[in-house]
Chain A
Amino acid sequence: MSKFHTMTVARIAAGLRRREFSSVEVTRSFLDRIASLDGRLNSFITVTPELALAAAKAADARIGGGEAVTALTGVPYAHKDIFCTKGVRTSCGSRMLENFIAPYDATVTRHFRDAGMVMLGKTNMDEFAMGSSNETSYFGPVHNPWDLQRVPGGSSGGSAAAVAARISPFATGTDTGGSIRQPAALCGITGIKPTYGAVSRFGMIAFASSLDQGGPMAVTAEDAALVLNVMAGNDPRDSTSVEREKEDYARLLDAPLRGLRVGMPKEYFGSDGLDPRVGAAVHAAAAELVSLGASLVEVSLPNSELSIPAYYVVAPAECSSNLSRFDGVRYGYRCKEPRDLMDLFCRSRGEGFGAEVKRRIMIGTYALSAGYYDAYYLQALKVRRLIRNDFDAAFNQCDVILGPTSPTTAFRIGEKTDDPVTMYLSDIYTIAVNLAGLPGMSIPCGFADGLPVGLQIIGRHFDEARMLNVAHQYQQATDWHTRLPAPFA
């Protein structure tokens, strides 16, 4: 019974409930895989074996006692190191929080804890979630399991690599401009960015508050739906959390796709940046959906090219303010021997933050400055409105929108680090979804030279169940998502 890593979350959960095996066995097996394999990936910043085994024992007792067992009690997972975990270091991939032990649990962490799930550790990420390659992490880059010379994408790169290498059954991610979907695409897994407001942001260290959203990263759409059931829900501690009835995100998984209208934005195809092999894989996936009963509709998102400039005003503006609390006064990194107050502020921040974080703080500070606010920030908000209007119009013609997640497959470590603008362009297809607050997901839809290609599915607000239905039906008909990188088989 050491093949747990080939099992889905749904399969592990069913086995635990039927007592085919124990949570301690499953947890040990994954901890062993982390110990033997993660040296090559660097996907974890912190592994918590003792806590994990204690949680597994408690889960086994809970299952044994038959008391209040939830769907995923006893299932292990890897938690992105951006979610606060009481008593466990929460670094956000930064030197600034290298020694920060969170004094409280994020709402998402609490949901997992209450469900009796088992945290294996905290995953590597771009510093403060700013990056598309996991190279900005203070704890070193993460390696893509499909090619260790390549990036896993970012910012949730550690989570994506850990799931792709099956050293964790699933992981959490956060997505501000594509940070769940792009690494999911580059690592060949399934990742969902839910509708803004579906998952509580309380205890999720903020990058850009109006865009950030946590979500699951898993092997299958079904697993992602099961995990989202645990993660989502209204939280009175997050004012932007939407008050809605709890819903079962898996309820439509088995619905046939007959009559489904799939929108294909003409702007998404034929642009210079799109790798033709990625375009071909996406078209092939569209054809597969047609064979399952869906029809294709051409739609237009005319302002999509404005999404990157708008995003790179809004997100840095919010981040410049959100990251002001890291000042060396109360917690986190403090410079040695400050001369005075100003020196304490300047050197603590100068030494505690990495280059990409500082770049974005500078951009955001500039965009919010007196005299520039209207030209940048207000203008970006108007563009954001236009982008949302584009989607509203498109969704009058279709039920879901289909396109590539990333214009290319995984690039080499170091390839784009000197060229931030090229790096920013790798999020061209994902950013607009955040600006519009829509749910989006990426699922594997093929390979190019041995590297996974991601298919993006975008849904209407709070239409995750429909999006997951499309993904699940596609995964029933294909096997891209079941493939494992050879060294991790």
Chain B
Amino acid sequence: MSWEPVIGLEIHAQLQTKSKIFSGASTAFGSEPNTQACIIDLGMPGVLPVLNREAVRMAIAFGLAIGARVAPRSIFARKNYFYPDLPKGYQISQYEIPIVGKGSVRILLDDGTVKEIGVTRAHLEEDAGKSLHEDFHGMSGIDLNRAGTPLLEIVSEPDMRSAKEAIAYMKTIHALVRYLRICDGNMQEGSFRCDANVSVRRRGDPIFGTRCEIKNVNSFRFVERAINFEIERQIDVIESGGRVDQETRLYDPDGNETRTMRSKEEANDYRYFPDPDLLPVVVDDALVAAVRESLPELPEARRERFMAQYALSAYDAGVLTAGRELADYYESTVAAANGEGKLAANWVMGDLAAFLNREGREITDSPVTPAMLGALVNRIADQTISGTIAKKVFELMWNGEGDPDAVIARHGLKQVTDTGAIEKAIAEVMAANPQQLAQYRSGKDKLFGFFVGQVMRKMQGKASPEQLNALLRDKLAP
């Protein structure tokens, strides 16, 4: 029997406004507990919310980026439930009329095909605080710094058919919100969180199976694992004659399993109703036009442009456009490298990425600037240095030795193209290795590489590889 998973995601993206969605308190992460909660965030008696216009602009930007209709008039509603870190006893959210309506994104799958995933809606809401259960001797501590942080909840259609597709969708949204500079995408700090709705059905069945919601999985890897575990679990339940119950489940990354959190019967009745403290959010054409004007080139368009303009593969273009800063860096590098697109791509995705990764740095924090890397690419292209020497130059630049020309000059790394110098080195190597020379001449071609290495070493790597190859082949010939 063949089973088909059906997956929809609810993504919570924390909007990177300076202040909270309904108060003037700061949204900065990591402060001492309860130092960034004002009387409004604390839900003091008598306080009232005032909407942060910047959060509205950010939601509009997202709506435009996914081709959705932005509601000219959307409504904030109260979602009522009791929880210690929910100060007012209700969360201000949007229910019947969200600010962003139906839209879609296109995801790129591993086999290079593109799939369109529907976005049902995206709405603004406030985050709750945090309950801290350690260090309080059997009691719980409440930190309300996060309370009132603006969130954009992005709800997808159940359009995904595998964990891989779900991750591709999640990464697409992740890249998009970061491109738009509306969310920092930091999953460790909880700025980008995901709930997954998963069901399975027999392939070909037009009706969806009963779904389970997996709450709050906080890395791409865990989302993939949690979904895969849940798919297997549901198939097992059905194949052993059971029935999947609609419920909310929690993923445990340590045991790699999902566990029941609450059943449908235990689900809250949130008693949504329009928040009488807030007026409808009115978005006029002028505001939409202004936000549209400020939109950057979006990842998909940029990926296609990179392929056309710089002759990159879909894969390379995809990697380079996954982040706006990375794509900006790449384009600046190409500009400095006289349009050497492919070579620049190799360096950005290769050595630069490896160095950044090793030191845990962001691209914006690279000691090697695009101008420096572009110049390095130029020196390779004009054969001032070889690719191998370039790696050394790169490392020296990374360590703060300045632009490539200075580094090359200071360390005497300029490629040697003087035929006489290379021939002299070849003669010395041949004299020093008579046995290998004899073997080569008797047909052991593989030893050619040995001679290349020896000569290169003698020349401290500075010989032009092409020249060295040609001369060596000539001299070694019997």
Which A residues have a C-beta under 8 Å from some C-beta of B? Answer: 83-84, 90, 92, 97, 100, 102-104, 106, 201-206, 208-210, 236-240, 317-318, 320-321, 323-327, 329-332, 341, 345, 365, 368-370, 373, 377
Pairwise interchain contact B45-A329, C-beta atoms closer than 8 A: no
Which A residues lie within 8 Å of B142 (CB)? 329-330
Pairwise interchain contact B51-A373, C-beta atoms closer than 8 A: no
CB B66 to nearest CB in A, in angstroms, measures 28
Which B residues lie within 8 Å of A331 (CB)? 44-45
Closest to A345 in B: B82
Which B residues lie within 8 Å of A324 (CB)? 80, 82, 88-90
* A205 in contact with B45 given A239-B278, A321-B89 (CB within 8 Å): yes
Pairwise interchain contact B46-A204, C-beta atoms closer than 8 A: yes
Closest to B140 in A: A341
Q: Tell me if B421 is interfacial: C-beta within 8 Å of chain A.
A: no
Q: Tell me if B43 is interfacial: C-beta within 8 Å of chain A.
A: yes
Which residue of A102, A238, A332, A369 contacts B48 across the interface (Cβ within 8 Å)? Answer: A238
Which A residues lie within 8 Å of B84 (CB)? 327, 329, 341
Pairwise interchain contact B90-A97, C-beta atoms closer than 8 A: no
Give A237 to B271 CA distance when docked, in angstroms.
Answer: 26
By secondary structure, the B interface counts as loop
Q: Mark contacts of B5-43 with chain A using CB atoms, 8 A cut-off: 1 yes-contact digit, 0 otherwise.
A: 000000000000000000000000000000000010011
Q: How many residues of B contact A (CB 8 A)?
A: 28
19 more A-B contacts (CB under 8 A) besides A320-B80, A324-B80, A368-B80? A92-B45, A106-B46, A203-B46, A205-B45, A209-B277, A236-B50, A238-B50, A239-B277, A240-B276, A240-B277, A317-B273, A320-B271, A324-B88, A329-B84, A330-B42, A332-B45, A341-B84, A369-B271, A370-B269
Which residue of B45, B48, B90 contacts A239 across the interface (Cβ within 8 Å)? Answer: B48
Q: Tell me if B237 is interfacial: C-beta within 8 Å of chain A.
A: no
* A321 in contact with B44 given A237-B50, A239-B277 (CB within 8 Å): no
Pairwise interchain contact B82-A239, C-beta atoms closer than 8 A: no
Pairwise interchain contact A318-B45, C-beta atoms closer than 8 A: no
Instruction: Name B244-281 residues within 8 Å CB distance of A.
Output: 269, 271-273, 276-279
Q: Tell me if B49 is interfacial: C-beta within 8 Å of chain A.
A: yes
User: Which one of B82, B84, B278 has the greatest number of beta carbons of chain A within 10 Å?
Assistant: B82
Closest to A369 in B: B269
Q: Tell me if B374 is interfacial: C-beta within 8 Å of chain A.
A: no
* A90 in contact with B39 given A318-B276, A321-B89, A373-B273 (CB within 8 Å): no
Which A residues lie within 8 Å of B43 (CB)? 325, 330
Which A residues lie within 8 Å of B273 (CB)? 317, 321, 368, 373, 377
Which B residues lie within 8 Å of A106 (CB)? 46
Q: Tell me if B87 is interfacial: C-beta within 8 Å of chain A.
A: yes
Pairwise interchain contact B47-A203, C-beta atoms closer than 8 A: yes
Which B residues lie within 8 Å of A318 (CB)? 276
Instruction: Name B275-297 residues within 8 Å CB distance of A.
Output: 276-279
Pairwise interchain contact B45-A84, C-beta atoms closer than 8 A: yes
Q: Tell me if B225 is interfacial: C-beta within 8 Å of chain A.
A: no
Q: Tell me if B78 is interfacial: C-beta within 8 Å of chain A.
A: yes
Which residue of A83, A92, A104, A345 contacts B39 across the interface (Cβ within 8 Å)? Answer: A104
Pairwise interchain contact A327-B47, C-beta atoms closer than 8 A: no
Q: List 6 A-B contacts (CB under 8 A).
A: A84-B45, A100-B45, A240-B277, A325-B43, A370-B271, A373-B272
Give A325 to B147 CA distance when docked, in angstroms.
Answer: 14
Which B residues lie within 8 Å of A332 (CB)? 45
* A368 in contact with B271 given A104-B44, A324-B90 (CB within 8 Å): yes
Pairwise interchain contact B89-A202, C-beta atoms closer than 8 A: no
Give A237 to B49 CA distance when docked, in angstroms.
Answer: 7
CB A79 to nearest CB in B, in angstroms, measures 13
Closest to A331 in B: B44
Give A331 to B45 CA distance when docked, in angstroms.
Answer: 9
* A325 in contact with B276 given A365-B271, A369-B269 (CB within 8 Å): no
Closest to A371 in B: B269
Give A92 to B45 CA distance when docked, in angstroms.
Answer: 10
Which A residues lie within 8 Å of B278 (CB)? 239-240
Pairwise interchain contact B269-A325, C-beta atoms closer than 8 A: no
* A325 in contact with B277 given A104-B39, A206-B46, A369-B269 (CB within 8 Å): no
Which A residues lie within 8 Å of B271 (CB)? 320-321, 365, 368-370, 373
Pairwise interchain contact B276-A210, C-beta atoms closer than 8 A: yes
Pairwise interchain contact B44-A201, C-beta atoms closer than 8 A: no
Which B residues lie within 8 Å of A320 (CB)? 80, 271
Pairwise interchain contact B82-A327, C-beta atoms closer than 8 A: yes
Instruction: Name B41-91 residues within 8 Å CB distance of A.
Output: 42-51, 78, 80, 82, 84, 87-90
Give A90 to B84 CA distance when docked, in angstroms.
Answer: 23
Give A92 to B44 CA distance when docked, in angstroms.
Answer: 13
Which A residues lie within 8 Å of B279 (CB)? 239-240
Give A397 to B272 CA distance when docked, in angstroms.
Answer: 39
Which residue of A84, A236, A239 contacts B46 across the interface (Cβ within 8 Å)? Answer: A84
Pairwise interchain contact B276-A209, C-beta atoms closer than 8 A: yes
CB A213 to nearest CB in B, in angstroms, measures 13
Q: Which 8 A-B pairs have the closest CB atoms?
A: A324-B89, A368-B271, A210-B276, A209-B276, A203-B46, A325-B43, A205-B45, A205-B46
CB B201 to nearest CB in A, in angstroms, measures 27
Pairwise interchain contact A327-B89, C-beta atoms closer than 8 A: yes
User: Which one of B49, B51, B88, B276 has the greatest number of beta carbons of chain A within 10 Å?
Assistant: B276
Pairwise interchain contact B89-A97, C-beta atoms closer than 8 A: no
Q: Mark contacts of B308-348 with chain A using CB atoms, 8 A cut-off: 1 yes-contact digit, 0 otherwise.
A: 00000000000000000000000000000000000000000
Give A39 to B436 CA distance when docked, in angstroms.
Answer: 117
CB A270 to nearest CB in B, in angstroms, measures 35
Which A residues lie within 8 Å of B48 (CB)? 201-202, 237-240
User: Which one of A203, A330, A370 has the greatest number of beta carbons of chain B within 10 Å?
Assistant: A330
Instruction: Name B169-198 residues within 8 Å CB distance of A.
Output: none
Give A239 to B46 CA distance when docked, in angstroms.
Answer: 13
* A239 in contact with B89 given A317-B273, A365-B271 (CB within 8 Å): no
Give A431 to B442 CA distance when docked, in angstroms.
Answer: 111
Pairwise interchain contact B80-A321, C-beta atoms closer than 8 A: yes
Which B residues lie within 8 Å of A341 (CB)? 84
CB B147 to nearest CB in A, in angstroms, measures 11
Give A320 to B80 CA distance when docked, in angstroms.
Answer: 9
Pairwise interchain contact B277-A330, C-beta atoms closer than 8 A: no
Give A104 to B42 CA distance when docked, in angstroms.
Answer: 12
Which B residues lie within 8 Å of A237 (CB)? 48, 50
Closest to B78 in A: A321
Pairwise interchain contact A97-B44, C-beta atoms closer than 8 A: no
User: Which one of B45, B269, B277 has the greatest number of beta carbons of chain A within 10 Å?
Assistant: B45
